[in-house]
């Protein structure tokens, strides 16, 4: 278990992490989400004793990282997969780590096999692709067979097969009763990997909750309706005080109504429908909704939105 209480980190004027309280429980994959610069890496670094908190406290299994005798046996982490000496082989890198934590040599072979690096284990790190580097970082995290694992952007640069492998690995580790804490910007990936979420924005914890609850609390479902007569249907729906967003000239999103209600309005007016379905909100929508005000670095313009599609709510009353 990872427990943060009042955890704070200031860099001069900048408060990177601001009185963060959260608990990462064993047996779950807990996603750590937040916009760029929100404080995720700083928080993870404080868990690992790489940054000293300016205030508050964070413990792993009830103890501070600095008090762990053989840290790799208690907590394994992938923070920066590139932090390996370029001339060192994967095997030697892992062997050094194992030696300094009293981990038997056979475990090095085991983890190399586990991450699928057997064929390149004796090659120098400088020739490793991004994906191979990520796998080596994961091997290092698993080396001490720890009860707590932290991964900062583990699927960065991985191909689809690698992403699927990491997803299953994290779920398996959690199913074994381990604590798995993982940060990622890939919402679709998090949605199918994590079952609990800690969300941070501008250093503050915005949510510490189950995946389903998070989506239900922060986004609403809508009805998608496709019709060649969308222009005629639109004012009829908006007149019912439902919010209607225009996706394109044939497609409307109706908020606040059920698919049955929308279908009935269309039928009452003899309007042909080509599609009618209830759309469940995604993790991405819920995340954007919650963190919209916490985004520090915005793009200059919202390019590429279809004409008429408005997040603010189209024609609704
Ligand atoms: N060593 C440092 N000195 C000064 N400011 C720092 C330092 N490390 C981080 N920061 C600042 O603290 C804030 C949080 O950074 P952090 O890297 O923890 O965010 P993050 O959520 O991991 O971001 P990203 O998703 O972009 O990786 C940022 O504003 C960053 O510029």
Phi-psi category of residue 141: left, alpha or beta, with phi > 0 → left and psi -120 to 50 → alpha: alpha
Q: Looking at residue 198, what is its pLDDT?
A: 97
Q: Does the beta carbon of 186 lie inside 6 Å of ligand 1?
A: no
Parallel, antiparallel or unpaired: strands 29-33 and 179-183: parallel
Atom of ligand 1 nearest to the CA of 9: 12
Domains, the chain, with CATH or none: 2-217 (3.40.50.300), 219-290 (3.30.70.980)
* 160-175 helix and 130-142 helix, angle to the nearest 10 degrees: 10
Give, using CA atoms, the residue closest to atom 17 of ligand 1.
41
Average pLDDT score, the chain: 90
Q: Looking at residue 272, what is its pLDDT?
A: 97
What's the pLDDT tens digit per position in 75-104?
999 988 777 888 889 999 999 999 988 899
- What are the two backbone dihedrals, phi and then psi, of residue 244, each rounded to the nearest 5 degrees? -120, 120
Q: Is the pLDDT of residue 293 over 80?
A: no
Give, using CA atoms, the residue closest to atom 10 of ligand 1.
16
Q: Does the beta carbon of 11 lie inside 6 Å of ligand 1?
A: yes
Q: Does the beta carbon of 42 lie inside 6 Å of ligand 1?
A: yes
Q: How many angstroms does the Cα of residue 8 sit away from the middle of ligand 1? A: 13
Q: How many angstroms does the Cα of residue 35 sit away from the middle of ligand 1? A: 11
Q: Is the pLDDT of residue 169 over 50?
A: yes
Q: Looking at residue 295, what is its pLDDT?
A: 66
Token pair 């001069």 is at which residue?
12
What's the pLDDT tens digit per position in 192-214?
999 999 999 999 999 999 999 99
What's the pLDDT tens digit per position in 254-292?
999 999 999 999 999 999 999 999 999 899 989 998 887
Parallel, antiparallel or unpaired: strands 222-226 and 179-183: unpaired
Q: Does the beta carbon of 52 lie inside 6 Å of ligand 1?
A: no
Q: Is the pLDDT of residue 296 over 50?
A: yes
Q: Does the beta carbon of 14 lie inside 6 Å of ligand 1?
A: yes
ipTM of this predicted structure: 0.96
Give, using CA atoms, the residue closest to atom 23 of ligand 1.
37
Residue 299 — very low, low, confident or very high, per pLDDT cuts 50/70/90? Answer: low
Q: Looking at residue 298, what is its pLDDT?
A: 60
Q: Does the beta carbon of 16 lie inside 6 Å of ligand 1?
A: yes
Atom of ligand 1 nearest to the CA of 12: 4
Q: Is the pLDDT of residue 61 over 80?
A: yes
From 42, 53, 151, give the residue whose CB has the most ligand 1 atoms within 8 Å, as the site to mutate.
42
C-alpha closest to that of 91 among 120, 115, 132, 116: 120
From 12, 13, 16, give the residue whose CB has the most ligand 1 atoms within 8 Å, as the site to mutate.
16
Q: Is the pLDDT of residue 231 over 60?
A: yes
**196 vs 210: CA distance, rounded Å:** 4
Give, using CA atoms, the residue closest to atom 25 of ligand 1.
36
């Amino acid at each position: 278990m990872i427990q943060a209480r009042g955890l704070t980190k200031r860099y001069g004027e900048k408060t990177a992490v601001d009185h963060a309280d959260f608990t990462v429980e064993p047996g779950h994959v807990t996603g750590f989400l937040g916009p760029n610069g929100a404080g995720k890496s700083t928080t993870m670094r404080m868990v690992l004793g790489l940054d000293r908190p300016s205030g508050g406290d964070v413990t792993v299994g009830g103890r501070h990282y600095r008090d762990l005798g053989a840290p790799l046996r208690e907590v394994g982490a992938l923070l920066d997969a590139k932090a390996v000496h370029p001339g060192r082989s994967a095997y030697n890198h892992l062997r050094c780590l194992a030696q300094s934590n009293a981990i038997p040599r056979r475990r090095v072979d085991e983890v190399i096999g586990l991450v699928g690096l057997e064929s390149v284990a004796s090659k120098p790190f400088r020739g490793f692709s991004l994906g191979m580097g990520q796998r080596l970082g994961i091997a290092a995290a698993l080396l001490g067979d720890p009860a707590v694992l932290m991964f900062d952007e583990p699927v960065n640069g991985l191909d689809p097969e690698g992403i699927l492998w990491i997803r299953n690995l994290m779920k398996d580790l959690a199913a074994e009763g381990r604590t798995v804490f993982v940060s990622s910007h890939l919402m679709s990936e998090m949605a199918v990997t994590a079952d609990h979420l800690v969300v941070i924005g501008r250093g503050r914890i915005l949510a510490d909750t189950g995946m389903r609850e998070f989506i239900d609390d922060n986004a609403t479902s809508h009805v998608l309706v496709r019709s060649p007569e969308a222009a005629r249907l639109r004012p009829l729906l908006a007149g019912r005080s439902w919010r209607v967003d225009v996706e394109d000239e044939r497609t409307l999103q109706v908020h606040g109504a059920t698919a049955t209600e929308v279908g009935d309005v269309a039928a009452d007016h003899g309007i042909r429908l080509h599609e009618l379905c209830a759309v469940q909100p995604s993790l991405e929508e819920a995340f954007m909704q919650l963190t919209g005000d916490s985004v520090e670095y915005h793009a200059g313009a919202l390019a590429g939105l279809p004409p008429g599609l408005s997040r603010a709510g189209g024609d609704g009353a």
